[in-house]
Structure 1
Amino acid sequence: MKRGIPHLIGIFCMLLLGGSAFGQVNVSMDLDSTVIFIGDHLGLTINIAAPTNTTIKNVNYGKWADAGKVELLDLGNLNTITTSPELLLQQRLVFTTFDSGYHRLPSLEVIYELNGIQDTARSSNLGLTVATIPVQEDADIMANKDIIKEPIKLVDFLPIVLALLVIVVIIGVIWRASAVRKRKAMPPAPLPPPIPAHIIALEKLDQLEAAAAWKTGDSKGFQSDLTYILREYLENRYDLQALEATSPEIIKDLQRLKLDEKGSLRAVLETADLVKFAKATPAEAVHVQSLNQVRTFVTTTKYTPPANEPLADVNEEEE
């Protein structure tokens, strides 16, 4: 009801203004109260009466607030009350002030356009008294209150725990990255030296002799294994393509390298071809002789590394 009465009065005033000054734009301001305490909120109603073909361009509240030393808290919409016989507009705002004493609120500027001409209408100014809260001189001075200490809770330690976790994660990431860099910087471990060709050949010859396949009638299997050991040794020791070569090709390479001047390896290869392809059956002594000839060749032609070259970590057996 307190706000309703000023609104009705403002509308009544607008009607009077409109009736007495038809064709003009009139602005009025109505305060809810002319006396407030410092810091209180105070309502103000803006009423605008204008011809129906008037366009309101702007209401300059900023200039009005600065001049009146007040602070706008809430600015309502500019509502249309009626459009006939005149245009009646109304707006509600709330402001406060922290300066005590008497305030003269200046006129409010409303910029409008009528019949293609832009102009400014101004309201009358208002008076406002801002009172301070009275202080009783004989009031007792209250003693300072003790600081209230809140009990320590588990959640109080949460920021510390999170900070420690972040530090641990950062340290872990740095350590991990450093370890990866060190691993990348370290040269790869050197490969172990290859097993010498004569060690491989002598071990296989020993196994072949222990099996003694010729004693069970498998002359072809024994001769095939024996010539394979010889071919593998020649390939590993002299880099000859002996595993894929025929016996005549191997004999030719041996003659070129002067490795079989007595013809013992030629006899071994030819005997093996006779057993494998002509199905010959030589005496047991021939098999033993071929085995010993290959072993002697491997032993006498084995590679001896220089003094500064590492040896393979194997047990060399020689006969």
Structure 2
Amino acid sequence: MTLSLLHGLLLAALLAPAVAPAPEPATPPPTPTQPALPSAPAPSVAPLPAAAPVDEPAPEDMSSAPATDSPVAISARVTPDPSQIGDLLELEVTVAYPTGYAVNVPLGLKLDPMHLVSVEESEPESTGQGLRKVFTFTIQHFAVGEAKTPSFPITYVAPDGAVQTAQVPSHNFTVTALLANEAEPKRQGEDPPISLEYPNHRAETAIYYTAGALVAGFVSALLWLRWRRRPRPVVLPPPEPADRVALRALDRLKEADYAGRGEFQLHYLMLTEILKGYLEGRFGIDALERTTDELRAALLRSEAAIAPLKPTEVIRFLQQCDLVKFARFAPPPSEASAAVEQARGMVVATTPVAPAGPKDQAPQDTSSGTGPKEQAPKDMSSSAAPKLVPESDIPTEPVPKFKEEGE
């Protein structure tokens, strides 16, 4: 802009004798947001005799690019100023350009001797006469004293697609040191060296003890967790003797009176299950899952254990019950009641009798008269839990048709 004004004034001074002077208002200099256009001198205009155009001084923290034919106006400033060595500085570059143009920072930009940390750019904003865009360069400088940002290009693209560049002006700033406010700071003396014993047995012992304590603590924690998660036995009450369970089930069967209601199959089915459950719980014979023919061999092998019962009597009783269950035989109600009493007699006959008197006397069995009776085997004791049908599971409805035993 200054060169254009000087050029116009020189032409006006040469043409002053031929043209009468006429006052002309001074043209204000273009603002940074308005592009500077070259002004053509008029031959009939003379400059003012006493006043000369003077550019307005720029702010102290701003540096403006010299006026050229470029339609882009650029200003730059550095904050903070002054700064300390190694501080993050912000070089703020403001670019004003006409509408329709695009402004960008070239790729691979370097600001040596400055260290470029990052580059950020704002969105274009309207100024009324064009657009304005702000580029913020985060830089560092590691030298003390007066410094200057280097001048670098800014690329802009015209509406017709032409790519041109404009230079960003350099800017001066000051970098101070981190030393104390002394005219001539002196270096502090070094600390005297420390003599250590080598090998340092004390340090080694402390390290070994610490490592051992950590390992011991870790192992103790694992053992404690395993001890907490160990399976704990569940203490259950002693099972009820098999004879008591069988007698109580027989009483419930008699009270149900299935035979009196004509439900003979259900009556003999429950009677058979009660007797088989007693044999399994009292003598350890697997009876509930066997048929009568399969049970025959097991009873014959355990003939001594089930005394005074005879295997033939038990098999005959079960076969009579099978006639009702599978052959649909309908006996009289009195015979059904007698079958319950017959089963009760088998249970009572084999019920173990608790010894009465001194401990050295042998237990007496009163069920068969006089004389000592042999004690039941340990695996056949009454403490074994019988696998009987629970009393609550006795059905109250008629049992459906049963398959034949051989099927």
TM-score by length of 1: 0.41
- Greater relative contact order (Cα < 8 A, sep 6+): 1
